[in-house]
Amino acid sequence: MRCPFCRNTDSRVVDSREVEDGQAIRRRRSCSACSRRFTTVEQGVLAVVKRSGVTEPFSRDKVVRGVQRACQGRPVDDDDVQQLAHRVEETVRAAGVAEIPAHEVGLAILGPLRELDEVAYLRFASVYRAFSSVEDFEKEIAELRKATERDPAG
């Protein structure tokens, strides 16, 4: 990790502490060249296993892009999408596993997306729940209606 001030590559750790329930370590470093201090965060790499068997690091940006696609034309603002992606990341990291199937990342998106926008949720669910017929959609919509009746405010 290069010093962000002078680009020197050597630094000394002056303090480190666990953050995010031990999922990450934040280190306070002192640059050995310019003595200025900066912070780094080390996070365990969470790998996402795609259907093809290929793994790639979990990316919050990818979640954001997927959700944005589902939210196209919907009254959802960017902050909401960012917040949702943050929640999804917390959920998948909280599972405490090193590898998670891509499918499960998709499922972790469904809950918060349903709270955010029902149309976007249906678009997303049609992919991740593999809706294969109009009946599947109707069933899901009926579920949504029921949930709305139980809790009219939400």
Give contact residues for Zn ion (rule: CB under 5 A).
Answer: 3, 5-6, 8, 31, 33-34
Contact, 29 vs 14, CB < 8 A?
Answer: yes
Q: How far is the CB of 17 from Zn ion (least distance, A)?
A: 22
Residues 6+ apart with CB under 8 A from 28: 13, 14, 15, 16, 37, 38, 39
Phi, psi of 101 (to 5 degrees): -65, 140
Q: How far is the CB of 8 from Zn ion (least distance, A)?
A: 5
Q: Which is nearer to Zn ion, 6 or 97 (CB)?
A: 6
Residues 6+ apart with CB under 8 A from 19: 25, 26, 41
Contact, 47 vs 58, CB < 8 A?
Answer: yes
Q: How far is the CB of 19 from Zn ion (least distance, A)?
A: 24
Residue with tokens 């793994």: 55
Q: Which is nearer to Zn ion, 2 or 139 (CB)?
A: 2
Q: How far is the CB of 24 from Zn ion (least distance, A)?
A: 23
Q: Which is nearer to Zn ion, 35 or 83 (CB)?
A: 35
Q: Which is nearer to Zn ion, 14 or 33 (CB)?
A: 33
